[in-house]
Amino acid sequence: MPELPDVEGFRGVLERCGQGRRVRKVDVRDAGVLRDVTAERLQVAVEGRSFAEPRRHGKFLVAPLDDGSGPALVWHFGMTGALLCAPADEPPHDHDRVLLTLDDGNRLGYRDQRKLQGIRLAETPDDVDALLADLGPDALTIDRAGFLDLLADRRGAVKSLLMDQSALAGLGNLLSDEILWRARIAPDRPAREIEEAEARGLFTAMGRVLDTAVRDARVPPRRNWLTGHRDDPEPECPRCGNPLDSRRVSGRRTVWCPHCQR
């Protein structure tokens, strides 16, 4: 599930619920979500420290502790992860894998059904940089010139480019389909063959889709968006009414309108 807008929402959860709060207790209920760190190390590193200002890059959420010069928690939410804030005495959900009890009676929970990604501990700011080193620029902050350069440098399908985290960080399958639909560009078009005017339109569509999705903290399944139709039994394009098509592009289910998208 989580793409850039969802993770931006989790950043907000962490900011409102965690920032400035001290972690009283780290409860690892399922160590299967810990990546390159043991439950013991996580406890020692985090308990007694407080959350500084969190930040996001692509689909990663970074939570530096104390003054930011030492360890940081680095979250990735995979397909099914979420960060939730709840009163500490609320019974945990089955999929709450790690619980962080705060000093104000609240509790941050990393909830994740599938455990495809998880939580890392960066020991230093340099470690954080190393974890994020392979990511391209964030989709929310890249400028138009940088975006046009990405397209020009890429031979393969434009959808593969949008989804490639090392080229552009933050877009997932749903957002990519939505943005391409909005810009009327077929997902399998080679990126470098997209005309400049279309490419500018694609950049604008990305910005608008992201703005709305960030406000909703998800890709909203509105009926006038593609996303609102992709799971219909016989999906039709909300713009032209023609049937939507669906097939795999770069290994992911891809929905588009063959009539509108060229």
Q: Could you tell me which residues come within 8 angstroms of residue 126 by beta carbon, excluding any fewer than 6 positions away?
A: none
Closer of 174 and 257 to DNA (Cβ): 174
Q: Scan for tokens 């290994």, then name that residue.
A: 251
Closer of 89 and 224 to DNA (Cβ): 224
- Judged by CB under 7 A, does residue 116 bind DNA? yes
- Judged by CB under 7 A, does residue 154 bind DNA? yes
Look up 247 and say whether it is catalytic: no
DSSP-assigned states of every residue in 218-255: S----TTSGGGTTTSSS-B-TTT-PBPEEEEETTEEEE
Look up 47 and say whether it is catalytic: no
- Judged by CB under 7 A, does residue 111 bind DNA? no
Look up 125 and say whether it is catalytic: no
- Judged by CB under 7 A, does residue 238 bind DNA? no
11, 21, 59, 107: which is the annotated catalytic residue?
A: 59
What is the CA angle 208-76-44, rounded to 5? 140
What is the CA angle 127-130-132, rounded to 5? 115
- Judged by CB under 7 A, does residue 152 bind DNA? no
- Judged by CB under 7 A, does residue 130 bind DNA? no
Single out the residue of 78, 48, 82 nearest to residue 65, CA to CA. Answer: 48
Closer of 32 and 258 to DNA (Cβ): 32
Buried b (16+ CB within 10 A) or exposed e, 191-203: beebeeebbebbb
Look up 154 and say whether it is catalytic: no
22, 24, 29, 252: which is the annotated catalytic residue?
A: 252
Q: How many residues bind DNA (CB under 7 A)?
A: 37
Q: How far is the CB of 180 from DNA (least distance, A)?
A: 13
Closer of 13 and 102 to DNA (Cβ): 13
- Judged by CB under 7 A, does residue 120 bind DNA? no
Q: Name residues contacting DNA, limited to 166-205 (CB under 7 A).
A: 172-174
- Judged by CB under 7 A, does residue 212 bind DNA? no
Q: Provide the 8-state DSSP code for 74.
A: E
Q: Could you tell me which residues come within 8 angstroms of residue 257 by beta carbon, excluding any fewer than 6 positions away?
A: 181, 226, 237, 239, 240, 242, 244, 245
Q: Name residues contacting DNA, limited to 33-52 (CB under 7 A).
A: none
| Other beta carbons less than 10 A from residue 250's beta carbon | 17
Q: Provide the 8-state DSSP code for 70.
A: S
Q: Which residues are catalytic?
A: 2-3, 59, 252
Which residues here bind DNA, judged by CB under 7 A?
1-3, 6, 32, 58-59, 76, 78-79, 94-95, 113-117, 134, 153-157, 160, 163, 165, 172-174, 218-219, 230, 249-253
